[in-house]
Amino acid sequence: MAVTSDKIFVNLPVKDLQQSMDFFKKAGFEFNPHFTDENAACLVISDSIFAMLLVEPFFSSFTKKEITDTAKSAEVIVGLSASSRAQVDEIVNKAVAAGGSSNSEPMDQGFMYSRSFQDVDGHIWEVIYMDMSAVDPQ
């Protein structure tokens, strides 16, 4: 039997929780106040997908490993789907305007279009639109 789950919570370390929250609010995201305090903020991506932004000391309490220095390396790329090419551009443009940075040039493969940005803590977010009608279901 395959493992299944109703929700996903991606935990990301942040240096300054308020700065990270301000960035994501300006980029168009919302937070769940029931799971937000001085140590963590629950970034709502969808009804079942969340990113927990954890201040670094709190994040460190969950692992013995060193926190990745995002200026030097990447540990994860968070991929988000978009409903259109225009929505890809809108999300990335808002993130850059909010203080993030563009991570790479747009990738256009006809049926798939993506762009990515780095948030204020250097985490990479890739936003992807895929025209499912062009995908061979085999």
CA-CA distance, 32 to 43, in Å (whole number)? 7
Determine the pLDDT at residue 2.
Answer: 84
pLDDT above 70 (res 137): no
Triad 116, 119, 120: Cα angle to 5°: 150
pLDDT digits (tens, 9 = 90+) for 74-83: 989 999 999 9
Global pTM value: 0.89
